[in-house]
Chain A
Amino acid sequence: MVVGVFISFKALTQLYLAQWRDAPWAGLANYRIAVDFNAAVGQALLHSFVVTCAFTALAVGLSWLFGTAAAILAQDRFRGRGVLRAVFLTPYALPVYASVITWAFMFQYDNGLINHVLHDELGVTSRPTFWLLGDNSFIALVTVSVWRNWPFAFLVVMAGLQAIPRELYEASAIDGAGVWQQIRRVTMPSLRPINQVLVLVLFLWTFNDFTTPYVLFGNASPQPADVISVHIYQASFLTWNFGEGSAMSVLLLLFLLLVTGAYLIVTSRRRRHA
């Protein structure tokens, strides 16, 4: 950590790798390059940052929605509920790289399942789509990320539901509330504390996710899906410019600290007022 901040101030390139402490000081130059949005490096970083924010917002939102819907709908007893729970947890249980490779296979242009279904069977698209190149790669990335993370939301919300006292439902039923009203008036408000933690955790995981884009796209992420973690990795290890890479990591860390701090302050204040 400390070393990370330290090297971000250095002009560290492959020339100095063996004696990295002797690398010349660069002062704030690395940072200046990273945030100079008129130059190529800064512009790429800004682009990647925007992509990551959009990706995170979408993926977290959908994961939360799917997980919560599934947990609430599967709350009552019905036949096959236990099996369903196990099925829902499989995406979360599989090792990330194994499942992401499978998704990469499904997204293949000529022998993948997605194009087979959309083009050959349903005829939605007039010609097969390139999913892992160009603009569609963003959709592919969001899909895989949601597939991977919604079971976690399901798991957490399911646990949260068990903590809601039975009496609340009984009282609302006596007051004449139907199932839908109970969900809106009893379940959702009671889940708020759990949701606050859940959304934060999902946000941090998704924002920092490296494995999914890296395994899905390999070493070269397509532009529309160039998320920040892979971007920094490429900036550091393909060009061996560790100083710049660390400067970007430190900026990323500051951003995450800021967002998390603001989030915690806002949510805890709201909780106190409630």
Chain B
Amino acid sequence: MPRPSTTRPPMAPPRSFVWTRRIVLTLLTVFAVTPVYVMVSSSLKPLQDVTGAFRWIPARITISPYVDMWRTVPLARYFLNSVIVCTSAAALSVLIATFAAYAVSRFRFRGRRVFTIVVLSTQMFPGILFLLPLFLIFVSIGNATGIALFGSRAGLVITYLTFSLPFSIWMLTGYFDSIPRGLDEAALVDGAGPVRALFRVVIPAAFPGIVTVAIYAFMTAWSEVLFASVMTNDTTRTLAVGLRDYSTQTDVYWNQIMAASLVVSVPVVAGFLLMQRFLVTGLTAGAVK
């Protein structure tokens, strides 16, 4: 029989504990699930049913919100923008973080500690602090070179890199540290260079960690609102901002908003389910250090 995964010894808990557990967990379930239920049920209602008083059980069910939402707002374009920006940010993030984490994990160099601290401390700064400087830097790069970063997808990718890189580097360093040094030292002895050792030995061994970092970078970019709302224009707008277009002066298409919210959630929820196990390991490894 497999050993139970709980840490508490198997012992019949007293009634008071069982009842507390039932009540608290039920309440929390209701709290967690209600918005999701509202999202799903409202996305299946016709417009006049979501503008009237709320009903738990939809009186009429229709899939037209899922059809109309693409026409009310150029959702497909926003979707494409989001996919381009987030995929690029994730790919670049993995590439840079892998090299940086390998260096931090395997080589002693001057400023290694400082580097780690700087990387970590960027986590605590409010995003708003970066917004104004980045805005001005983009504007002046645009003035100096004629490359219009402001309002472009590339500008947004660079911005998202500044968010996801610190955490990615931190997490990957933890992963690389957990890979026995003997492995890549053996490769070095066999005559491989450090880069070759990285690609042939360390990266395959740290693959789950690398996937996690990619998903993490994708998800942060996918959910970001502040920079997306300032740094995009009509053609480069991403989903995070585009969803607001469903409310016009006269009407708010709540059923279409809910439908669109569900659709944009799908990639992120899927990614989250893929990585949640790794995420916990990464976080606790970092916390213990």
A residues sitting closer than 8 Å to B (CB atoms) are 1-4, 7, 17-21, 66, 69-70, 73-78, 84, 87-99, 101-103, 105-106, 110-113, 115-116, 120, 147, 150-151, 155-156, 158-166, 169-170, 173, 178-180, 182, 193-194, 197, 204, 207-208, 210-211, 214-215, 218, 228-229, 232-233, 236-237, 242, 245-246, 249-250, 252-253, 256-257, 260
Contact = CB atoms under 8 A, between A and B. Distances in A.
A20 B136 contact: yes
B34 interface: yes
A97 B239 CA distance: 9
B243 A18 contact: no
Given A87-B32, A97-B223, A102-B35, A210 B8 contact: no
B128 A90 contact: no
Given A4-B130, A210-B127, A98 B265 contact: yes
Interface string B12-44: 011011001100110011011111101100100
Interface stretch (B180-188, B196-204, B269-277): B269-277
Contacts of B11: 173, 179
B249 interface: no
B6 A208 contact: no
B100 interface: no
Nearest to A204: B124
B258 A256 contact: no
A105 B280 contact: no
Interface residues of B, number: 78
24 contacts: A1-B125, A1-B130, A76-B13, A77-B5, A91-B35, A94-B265, A95-B240, A101-B261, A102-B35, A102-B36, A102-B39, A103-B35, A111-B50, A113-B54, A116-B53, A150-B28, A155-B279, A204-B124, A214-B225, A236-B128, A237-B230, A242-B132, A250-B129, A253-B126
B145 interface: no
Interface in B219-245: 219, 222-226, 229-230, 240, 243-244
Nearest to B16: A180
B55 to A, nearest CB: 8
A105 B127 contact: no
B250 to A, nearest CB: 15
Contacts of B140: 20-21
Nearest to B20: A73
A132 to B, nearest CB: 13
**Nearest 6 A-B pairs (CB), nearest first?**
A98-B261, A93-B272, A208-B126, A3-B133, A116-B54, A4-B133
A143 to B, nearest CB: 9
A95 to B, nearest CB: 4
Contact of A111 (B33, B54, B287): B54
B123 interface: yes
Nearest to B283: A156
B83 interface: no
Contacts of B13: 76, 179
Contacts of B28: 66, 69-70, 88, 150
Interface string B244-264: 100000000010011001101
Given A147-B32, A232-B128, A245-B132, A179 B225 contact: no
Contacts of A169: 7-9
Contact of B25 (A2, A74, A110, A237): A74
A182 B7 CA distance: 12
B225 A111 contact: no
B288 to A, nearest CB: 8
Contacts of A156: 280, 283-284, 287
B38 A102 contact: yes
Interface centre among B52, B131, B229, B280 (most CB of A within 10 A): B131
Given A76-B8, A94-B36, A102-B39, 18 more contacts: A77-B4, A77-B5, A89-B276, A95-B219, A96-B223, A98-B39, A99-B39, A101-B257, A102-B35, A102-B258, A105-B257, A120-B53, A159-B281, A160-B284, A193-B288, A210-B128, A229-B226, A236-B128
A170 B230 contact: no
Interface string B207-226: 00000000000010011111
Contact of A164 (B7, B143, B244): B7
Interface centre among B31, B133, B139 (most CB of A within 10 A): B133
Nearest to B240: A97
